[in-house]
Amino acid sequence: MEKLIQRAGSIDPNLLKKDFPVFERKVHGKPLIYLDNAATTQKPQSVIDCIDNYYRNHNSNIHRGVHTLSYESTVMYEDAHKKVADFIGADKWNEIIFTRNATESLNLLAYGWGLHRLEEGDEVLITIMEHHSNIVPWQMLRDLKGIKINVLGVDDRGDLKLDELPDLLTERTKLVSIIHASNVLGTVNPVKEITRQAKEVGALVLIDAAQSIPHLPIDVSEIGCDFLVASGHKMLGPTGIGFIYGRESLLEDMEPFMYGGDMIEKVTFEKSTWNELPWKFEAGTPNIAGGIGLGAAVDYLDGIGLQNILDHEEDLLSYALEKMSAYDWIKIYGHKSTTESVGVISFNVEGVHPHDVAGMLDEEGIAVRSGHHCAQPLMSELSMDYTARISFYLYNNKEEIDLCVETLKKVKKIFG
Protein backbone atom coordinates (compact mmCIF):
# COMPACT_ATOMS: atom_id res chain seq x y z
CA MET A 1 0.00 0.00 0.00
CA GLU A 2 2.86 2.38 0.78
CA LYS A 3 3.89 2.34 -2.88
CA LEU A 4 0.50 3.62 -4.00
CA ILE A 5 1.00 7.11 -2.58
CA GLN A 6 3.71 8.49 -4.80
CA ARG A 7 3.87 11.97 -3.34
CA ALA A 8 2.38 13.92 -0.44
CA GLY A 9 -1.05 15.30 -1.14
CA SER A 10 -1.77 12.79 -3.90
CA ILE A 11 -4.25 9.93 -3.87
CA ASP A 12 -4.93 7.67 -6.83
CA PRO A 13 -8.28 6.06 -5.97
CA ASN A 14 -8.02 3.61 -8.84
CA LEU A 15 -4.83 2.19 -7.37
CA LEU A 16 -6.22 2.21 -3.85
CA LYS A 17 -9.23 0.22 -5.04
CA LYS A 18 -6.88 -2.73 -5.55
CA ASP A 19 -6.43 -2.87 -1.78
CA PHE A 20 -10.15 -3.59 -1.33
CA PRO A 21 -11.37 -7.05 -2.39
CA VAL A 22 -15.03 -5.98 -2.56
CA PHE A 23 -14.33 -3.95 -5.70
CA GLU A 24 -13.58 -7.15 -7.59
CA ARG A 25 -17.28 -8.06 -7.56
CA LYS A 26 -20.13 -6.82 -9.70
CA VAL A 27 -23.66 -5.79 -8.73
CA HIS A 28 -26.39 -6.52 -11.28
CA GLY A 29 -23.60 -7.19 -13.75
CA LYS A 30 -22.05 -3.75 -13.22
CA PRO A 31 -18.82 -2.81 -11.44
CA LEU A 32 -19.53 -1.82 -7.84
CA ILE A 33 -19.59 1.92 -7.18
CA TYR A 34 -19.75 2.34 -3.43
CA LEU A 35 -21.09 5.73 -2.33
CA ASP A 36 -22.48 4.76 1.10
CA ASN A 37 -19.34 5.43 3.12
CA ALA A 38 -21.11 7.50 5.76
CA ALA A 39 -22.93 4.31 6.76
CA THR A 40 -19.86 2.08 6.72
CA THR A 41 -16.62 1.85 4.77
CA GLN A 42 -15.17 -1.06 2.87
CA LYS A 43 -12.25 -3.02 4.34
CA PRO A 44 -8.74 -3.21 2.88
CA GLN A 45 -7.05 -6.56 2.46
CA SER A 46 -4.55 -5.64 5.17
CA VAL A 47 -7.34 -5.43 7.76
CA ILE A 48 -8.90 -8.68 6.56
CA ASP A 49 -5.51 -10.40 6.65
CA CYS A 50 -4.80 -9.10 10.14
CA ILE A 51 -8.05 -10.55 11.50
CA ASP A 52 -7.48 -13.80 9.62
CA ASN A 53 -3.94 -14.03 11.01
CA TYR A 54 -5.20 -13.55 14.55
CA TYR A 55 -7.71 -16.38 14.30
CA ARG A 56 -5.34 -18.69 12.42
CA ASN A 57 -2.22 -18.20 14.52
CA HIS A 58 -2.87 -16.41 17.81
CA ASN A 59 -6.47 -17.02 18.90
CA SER A 60 -6.62 -16.99 22.69
CA ASN A 61 -8.21 -15.03 25.48
CA ILE A 62 -6.31 -12.02 26.79
CA HIS A 63 -5.15 -11.27 30.34
CA ARG A 64 -6.07 -14.81 31.40
CA GLY A 65 -3.12 -17.00 30.65
CA VAL A 66 0.65 -17.24 30.77
CA HIS A 67 0.91 -19.43 27.68
CA THR A 68 2.31 -18.10 24.42
CA LEU A 69 -0.95 -17.58 22.54
CA SER A 70 -2.52 -15.64 25.40
CA TYR A 71 0.57 -13.46 25.70
CA GLU A 72 0.63 -12.77 21.95
CA SER A 73 -3.07 -11.93 21.84
CA THR A 74 -2.73 -9.62 24.83
CA VAL A 75 0.16 -7.73 23.25
CA MET A 76 -1.66 -7.38 19.92
CA TYR A 77 -4.85 -6.15 21.61
CA GLU A 78 -3.04 -3.65 23.83
CA ASP A 79 -0.99 -2.42 20.88
CA ALA A 80 -4.25 -1.62 19.10
CA HIS A 81 -5.21 0.69 21.97
CA LYS A 82 -1.84 2.41 21.62
CA LYS A 83 -2.33 2.89 17.86
CA VAL A 84 -5.71 4.53 18.39
CA ALA A 85 -4.29 6.77 21.12
CA ASP A 86 -1.51 7.96 18.81
CA PHE A 87 -3.99 8.39 15.95
CA ILE A 88 -6.07 10.94 17.87
CA GLY A 89 -3.30 12.59 19.91
CA ALA A 90 -4.25 11.17 23.32
CA ASP A 91 -1.65 11.59 26.05
CA LYS A 92 -1.91 8.01 27.34
CA TRP A 93 -3.03 4.78 25.73
CA ASN A 94 -5.03 3.79 28.81
CA GLU A 95 -7.37 6.69 27.95
CA ILE A 96 -8.72 4.54 25.08
CA ILE A 97 -11.59 2.18 25.90
CA PHE A 98 -12.76 -0.29 23.28
CA THR A 99 -16.51 -0.69 22.86
CA ARG A 100 -18.77 -2.13 20.15
CA ASN A 101 -19.32 1.20 18.39
CA ALA A 102 -19.96 4.90 18.95
CA THR A 103 -23.49 4.14 20.13
CA GLU A 104 -22.27 1.89 22.93
CA SER A 105 -19.61 4.47 23.76
CA LEU A 106 -22.24 7.17 24.22
CA ASN A 107 -24.37 4.87 26.35
CA LEU A 108 -21.36 3.95 28.48
CA LEU A 109 -20.77 7.63 29.17
CA ALA A 110 -24.45 8.30 29.83
CA TYR A 111 -24.66 5.48 32.36
CA GLY A 112 -21.12 5.48 33.76
CA TRP A 113 -20.75 9.25 34.05
CA GLY A 114 -24.16 10.87 33.61
CA LEU A 115 -26.22 8.56 35.78
CA HIS A 116 -23.88 9.10 38.75
CA ARG A 117 -22.80 12.70 38.20
CA LEU A 118 -25.86 14.56 36.92
CA GLU A 119 -28.59 15.84 39.22
CA GLU A 120 -32.07 17.21 38.72
CA GLY A 121 -31.90 20.57 37.00
CA ASP A 122 -28.46 19.98 35.48
CA GLU A 123 -28.24 20.72 31.77
CA VAL A 124 -26.82 18.84 28.80
CA LEU A 125 -26.35 20.80 25.59
CA ILE A 126 -26.56 19.00 22.23
CA THR A 127 -27.27 20.20 18.69
CA ILE A 128 -30.09 19.58 16.29
CA MET A 129 -27.55 17.86 14.00
CA GLU A 130 -27.04 14.94 16.33
CA HIS A 131 -27.36 11.32 15.32
CA HIS A 132 -30.07 9.58 17.34
CA SER A 133 -27.38 7.84 19.38
CA ASN A 134 -26.35 11.21 20.81
CA ILE A 135 -29.93 12.17 21.64
CA VAL A 136 -31.69 9.16 23.10
CA PRO A 137 -29.22 8.40 25.97
CA TRP A 138 -29.62 11.95 27.29
CA GLN A 139 -33.40 11.64 27.03
CA MET A 140 -33.06 8.53 29.19
CA LEU A 141 -31.25 10.60 31.81
CA ARG A 142 -33.81 13.37 31.51
CA ASP A 143 -36.56 10.86 32.33
CA LEU A 144 -34.57 9.18 35.13
CA LYS A 145 -32.82 12.15 36.72
CA GLY A 146 -34.79 15.21 35.73
CA ILE A 147 -31.98 16.85 33.78
CA LYS A 148 -32.68 19.42 31.08
CA ILE A 149 -31.63 19.04 27.45
CA ASN A 150 -30.85 22.23 25.54
CA VAL A 151 -30.52 22.16 21.75
CA LEU A 152 -28.38 24.40 19.54
CA GLY A 153 -30.09 24.91 16.18
CA VAL A 154 -28.93 25.33 12.58
CA ASP A 155 -29.45 28.13 10.09
CA ASP A 156 -30.72 27.79 6.53
CA ARG A 157 -27.18 27.20 5.29
CA GLY A 158 -26.81 24.11 7.44
CA ASP A 159 -24.41 25.72 9.93
CA LEU A 160 -24.85 25.75 13.68
CA LYS A 161 -26.23 28.98 15.10
CA LEU A 162 -23.08 29.71 17.06
CA ASP A 163 -24.29 33.19 17.99
CA GLU A 164 -26.89 31.48 20.19
CA LEU A 165 -24.35 29.31 21.99
CA PRO A 166 -23.50 31.78 24.81
CA ASP A 167 -27.17 32.02 25.80
CA LEU A 168 -27.49 28.22 25.99
CA LEU A 169 -24.36 27.75 28.09
CA THR A 170 -25.23 28.37 31.75
CA GLU A 171 -23.83 27.56 35.17
CA ARG A 172 -26.08 24.48 35.12
CA THR A 173 -24.53 23.17 31.88
CA LYS A 174 -22.56 20.09 32.90
CA LEU A 175 -21.96 18.56 29.49
CA VAL A 176 -21.80 19.68 25.87
CA SER A 177 -22.21 16.62 23.64
CA ILE A 178 -21.74 17.54 20.00
CA ILE A 179 -21.36 15.88 16.64
CA HIS A 180 -18.12 16.79 14.88
CA ALA A 181 -19.32 16.22 11.30
CA SER A 182 -22.95 15.85 10.25
CA ASN A 183 -23.86 12.55 8.62
CA VAL A 184 -26.65 14.38 6.75
CA LEU A 185 -25.12 17.69 5.69
CA GLY A 186 -21.40 16.93 5.88
CA THR A 187 -20.90 20.12 7.91
CA VAL A 188 -17.77 20.05 10.09
CA ASN A 189 -18.53 21.89 13.31
CA PRO A 190 -15.94 24.15 15.01
CA VAL A 191 -15.49 21.86 18.00
CA LYS A 192 -12.37 23.59 19.29
CA GLU A 193 -14.20 26.91 19.64
CA ILE A 194 -17.29 25.25 21.09
CA THR A 195 -15.07 23.45 23.60
CA ARG A 196 -13.43 26.73 24.59
CA GLN A 197 -16.79 28.35 25.29
CA ALA A 198 -18.06 25.29 27.17
CA LYS A 199 -15.01 25.35 29.43
CA GLU A 200 -15.76 28.94 30.39
CA VAL A 201 -18.88 27.73 32.23
CA GLY A 202 -17.15 24.64 33.61
CA ALA A 203 -18.87 22.12 31.33
CA LEU A 204 -17.32 18.90 30.07
CA VAL A 205 -17.22 18.30 26.32
CA LEU A 206 -18.01 15.05 24.50
CA ILE A 207 -17.41 14.83 20.76
CA ASP A 208 -19.12 12.31 18.48
CA ALA A 209 -16.40 11.80 15.87
CA ALA A 210 -17.99 8.86 14.06
CA GLN A 211 -18.30 10.85 10.82
CA SER A 212 -15.13 12.92 11.14
CA ILE A 213 -12.42 10.54 12.26
CA PRO A 214 -12.17 8.67 8.93
CA HIS A 215 -11.84 11.86 6.94
CA LEU A 216 -9.77 14.52 8.68
CA PRO A 217 -6.95 14.80 11.22
CA ILE A 218 -8.11 14.91 14.85
CA ASP A 219 -6.04 15.83 17.90
CA VAL A 220 -7.95 15.63 21.18
CA SER A 221 -5.21 17.50 23.01
CA GLU A 222 -5.51 20.42 20.60
CA ILE A 223 -9.32 20.41 20.72
CA GLY A 224 -9.32 20.21 24.51
CA CYS A 225 -12.32 17.89 24.73
CA ASP A 226 -12.91 15.55 27.67
CA PHE A 227 -14.40 12.63 25.75
CA LEU A 228 -14.49 11.52 22.13
CA VAL A 229 -16.28 8.52 20.62
CA ALA A 230 -16.05 6.77 17.26
CA SER A 231 -16.91 3.56 15.41
CA GLY A 232 -14.27 1.38 13.76
CA HIS A 233 -16.41 0.27 10.84
CA LYS A 234 -16.61 3.83 9.48
CA MET A 235 -12.79 4.08 9.37
CA LEU A 236 -11.93 0.90 7.39
CA GLY A 237 -12.06 -1.30 10.50
CA PRO A 238 -14.35 -4.24 11.26
CA THR A 239 -17.87 -3.96 12.58
CA GLY A 240 -18.48 -4.49 16.29
CA ILE A 241 -15.58 -2.35 17.49
CA GLY A 242 -15.47 1.30 18.52
CA PHE A 243 -13.83 3.35 21.21
CA ILE A 244 -14.02 6.09 23.78
CA TYR A 245 -11.27 8.55 24.48
CA GLY A 246 -11.58 10.01 27.94
CA ARG A 247 -9.30 12.07 30.14
CA GLU A 248 -7.67 9.72 32.63
CA SER A 249 -8.87 11.56 35.74
CA LEU A 250 -12.48 11.46 34.53
CA LEU A 251 -12.33 7.78 33.63
CA GLU A 252 -10.82 6.96 37.01
CA ASP A 253 -13.70 8.75 38.70
CA MET A 254 -16.42 7.11 36.58
CA GLU A 255 -18.45 4.04 37.43
CA PRO A 256 -18.28 0.99 35.15
CA PHE A 257 -21.07 0.36 32.68
CA MET A 258 -20.66 -3.42 32.47
CA TYR A 259 -19.71 -5.68 35.37
CA GLY A 260 -18.01 -9.07 35.27
CA GLY A 261 -14.74 -10.69 34.35
CA ASP A 262 -11.51 -8.80 33.69
CA MET A 263 -12.93 -5.43 34.78
CA ILE A 264 -12.36 -6.37 38.41
CA GLU A 265 -9.29 -6.20 40.61
CA LYS A 266 -10.64 -8.26 43.50
CA VAL A 267 -13.98 -9.93 44.24
CA THR A 268 -15.37 -11.09 47.58
CA PHE A 269 -18.98 -11.68 48.53
CA GLU A 270 -18.80 -8.45 50.48
CA LYS A 271 -17.20 -6.13 47.92
CA SER A 272 -15.52 -5.89 44.54
CA THR A 273 -12.88 -3.42 43.36
CA TRP A 274 -12.22 -2.37 39.80
CA ASN A 275 -9.32 -3.04 37.48
CA GLU A 276 -7.00 -0.33 36.15
CA LEU A 277 -7.78 1.62 32.98
CA PRO A 278 -8.87 0.82 30.37
CA TRP A 279 -9.87 -2.70 31.49
CA LYS A 280 -12.19 -1.24 34.13
CA PHE A 281 -14.63 -0.57 31.28
CA GLU A 282 -13.99 -3.66 29.13
CA ALA A 283 -15.84 -6.39 30.99
CA GLY A 284 -15.74 -10.01 29.83
CA THR A 285 -13.97 -11.35 26.79
CA PRO A 286 -13.78 -8.35 24.43
CA ASN A 287 -13.86 -8.27 20.65
CA ILE A 288 -10.19 -9.13 20.47
CA ALA A 289 -10.10 -9.71 16.72
CA GLY A 290 -12.07 -6.52 16.14
CA GLY A 291 -9.70 -4.47 18.26
CA ILE A 292 -6.67 -5.87 16.45
CA GLY A 293 -8.42 -5.21 13.13
CA LEU A 294 -9.08 -1.62 14.18
CA GLY A 295 -5.37 -1.24 14.86
CA ALA A 296 -4.65 -2.48 11.33
CA ALA A 297 -7.15 0.05 9.95
CA VAL A 298 -5.34 2.83 11.80
CA ASP A 299 -2.06 1.62 10.26
CA TYR A 300 -3.61 1.81 6.80
CA LEU A 301 -5.01 5.30 7.36
CA ASP A 302 -1.68 6.49 8.75
CA GLY A 303 -0.02 5.16 5.61
CA ILE A 304 -2.35 7.18 3.38
CA GLY A 305 -2.44 10.30 5.55
CA LEU A 306 -5.63 11.92 6.83
CA GLN A 307 -4.80 15.25 5.20
CA ASN A 308 -4.42 13.50 1.85
CA ILE A 309 -7.82 11.85 2.36
CA LEU A 310 -9.41 15.19 3.26
CA ASP A 311 -7.92 16.89 0.21
CA HIS A 312 -9.14 14.09 -2.06
CA GLU A 313 -12.65 14.21 -0.61
CA GLU A 314 -12.85 17.98 -0.91
CA ASP A 315 -11.97 17.65 -4.59
CA LEU A 316 -14.67 15.01 -5.11
CA LEU A 317 -17.21 17.02 -3.12
CA SER A 318 -16.62 20.18 -5.14
CA TYR A 319 -16.89 18.22 -8.38
CA ALA A 320 -20.09 16.44 -7.35
CA LEU A 321 -21.78 19.63 -6.14
CA GLU A 322 -20.97 21.34 -9.43
CA LYS A 323 -22.35 18.43 -11.47
CA MET A 324 -25.51 17.99 -9.42
CA SER A 325 -26.24 21.71 -9.09
CA ALA A 326 -26.55 21.95 -12.88
CA TYR A 327 -30.03 20.40 -12.60
CA ASP A 328 -32.75 22.35 -10.83
CA TRP A 329 -34.71 19.15 -10.14
CA ILE A 330 -31.95 17.96 -7.81
CA LYS A 331 -32.37 19.60 -4.40
CA ILE A 332 -29.20 19.57 -2.31
CA TYR A 333 -29.32 20.15 1.44
CA GLY A 334 -26.57 22.13 3.13
CA HIS A 335 -23.31 23.09 1.42
CA LYS A 336 -24.37 26.75 1.19
CA SER A 337 -21.51 28.27 3.16
CA THR A 338 -17.73 28.15 3.22
CA THR A 339 -17.78 25.94 6.32
CA GLU A 340 -15.53 22.91 6.00
CA SER A 341 -17.41 19.75 4.97
CA VAL A 342 -16.70 16.07 4.68
CA GLY A 343 -17.76 14.21 1.54
CA VAL A 344 -21.49 13.81 2.25
CA ILE A 345 -24.34 15.08 0.06
CA SER A 346 -27.99 14.60 0.98
CA PHE A 347 -30.35 15.32 -1.89
CA ASN A 348 -33.74 14.64 -3.43
CA VAL A 349 -34.85 14.25 -7.02
CA GLU A 350 -37.99 16.27 -7.55
CA GLY A 351 -41.09 14.09 -7.69
CA VAL A 352 -39.24 10.85 -6.89
CA HIS A 353 -39.11 9.05 -3.55
CA PRO A 354 -35.52 8.60 -2.30
CA HIS A 355 -36.00 4.83 -2.06
CA ASP A 356 -36.84 4.75 -5.77
CA VAL A 357 -33.74 6.84 -6.47
CA ALA A 358 -31.59 4.43 -4.46
CA GLY A 359 -33.21 1.43 -6.16
CA MET A 360 -32.46 2.65 -9.66
CA LEU A 361 -28.91 3.59 -8.72
CA ASP A 362 -28.46 0.08 -7.33
CA GLU A 363 -29.47 -1.35 -10.71
CA GLU A 364 -26.40 0.41 -12.10
CA GLY A 365 -24.19 -1.01 -9.34
CA ILE A 366 -24.20 2.25 -7.39
CA ALA A 367 -24.69 1.91 -3.62
CA VAL A 368 -26.19 4.94 -1.85
CA ARG A 369 -28.30 5.44 1.26
CA SER A 370 -31.91 6.61 1.44
CA GLY A 371 -34.01 7.38 4.50
CA HIS A 372 -33.81 9.71 7.50
CA HIS A 373 -30.19 8.76 8.32
CA CYS A 374 -30.91 8.44 12.06
CA ALA A 375 -31.19 12.22 12.29
CA GLN A 376 -34.93 12.88 12.32
CA PRO A 377 -34.84 16.16 14.33
CA LEU A 378 -32.48 17.70 11.76
CA MET A 379 -34.51 16.34 8.86
CA SER A 380 -37.67 17.82 10.34
CA GLU A 381 -36.00 21.19 10.95
CA LEU A 382 -34.96 21.35 7.29
CA SER A 383 -38.40 20.20 6.08
CA MET A 384 -37.32 16.91 4.58
CA ASP A 385 -38.84 13.56 5.46
CA TYR A 386 -36.30 11.42 3.64
CA THR A 387 -33.36 11.99 1.34
CA ALA A 388 -30.96 10.07 -0.80
CA ARG A 389 -27.35 10.41 0.31
CA ILE A 390 -24.04 9.89 -1.41
CA SER A 391 -20.83 9.86 0.60
CA PHE A 392 -17.26 9.59 -0.61
CA TYR A 393 -14.07 8.02 0.57
CA LEU A 394 -10.50 7.51 -0.50
CA TYR A 395 -11.33 4.88 -3.18
CA ASN A 396 -13.95 6.97 -5.03
CA ASN A 397 -13.26 8.89 -8.23
CA LYS A 398 -14.87 11.49 -10.49
CA GLU A 399 -15.91 8.94 -13.10
CA GLU A 400 -18.16 7.34 -10.48
CA ILE A 401 -19.76 10.72 -9.80
CA ASP A 402 -20.37 11.17 -13.52
CA LEU A 403 -22.12 7.80 -13.75
CA CYS A 404 -24.18 8.60 -10.66
CA VAL A 405 -25.39 11.88 -12.17
CA GLU A 406 -26.17 10.22 -15.50
CA THR A 407 -28.25 7.64 -13.65
CA LEU A 408 -30.09 10.40 -11.79
CA LYS A 409 -31.03 11.83 -15.18
CA LYS A 410 -32.53 8.46 -16.09
CA VAL A 411 -34.38 8.41 -12.77
CA LYS A 412 -35.90 11.80 -13.49
CA LYS A 413 -36.86 10.79 -17.03
CA ILE A 414 -38.60 7.59 -15.87
CA PHE A 415 -40.36 8.98 -12.81
CA GLY A 416 -40.58 12.65 -13.68
Distance CA 80, CA 76 (A): 6
Mean pLDDT, to the nearest integer, of 370-393?
83
367: closest CA among 358, 378, 376, 377? 358
Q: Which CATH class is domain 49-303?
A: alpha beta
50, 225, 374, 404: the catalytic one is 374
**Based on the number of CB atoms within 10 Å of its own CB, is 149 exposed (0-12), middle (13-18) or buried (19 or more)?**
middle
For residue 5, the model assigns a pLDDT of: 43
Cα of first residue to Cα of last residue in the chain, in angstroms, is 45
pTM of the model: 0.93
Mean pLDDT, to the nearest integer, of 371-386?
77
2-44+306-410 and 49-303: identical CATH topology = no
User: Does residue 404 carry a catalytic annotation?
Assistant: no
Residue by residue, DSSP assigns 69-97 as: HHHHHHHHHHHHHHHHHHHHT-S-GGGEE
Which contacts (CB < 8 Å, 24+ apart) does range 3-7 have?
5/303, 5/304, 5/305, 5/308
Q: Say yes or no to pLDDT of 336 above 90.
A: no
Instruction: Give the domain 2-44+306-410 fold.
Output: Aspartate Aminotransferase, domain 1 (3.90.1150)
**pLDDT digits 0-9 by tens, 21-53:** 999 999 999 999 999 999 999 999 999 999 999
SS3 (DSSP) at 291? helix
For residue 9, the model assigns a pLDDT of: 54
Mean of pLDDT over the chain: 92
Mean pLDDT, to the nearest integer, of 67-85?
96
Q: What is the CA radius of gyration of the chain?
A: 22
Q: Say yes or no to pLDDT of 290 above 50.
A: yes
SS3 (DSSP) at 241? coil
Q: Where are the domains of the chain?
A: 2-44+306-410, 49-303
**pLDDT digits 0-9 by tens, 293-318:** 999 999 999 999 999 999 999 999 99
8 pLDDT band, cuts 50/70/90, is very low
Contact, 350 vs 305, CB < 8 A?
Answer: no
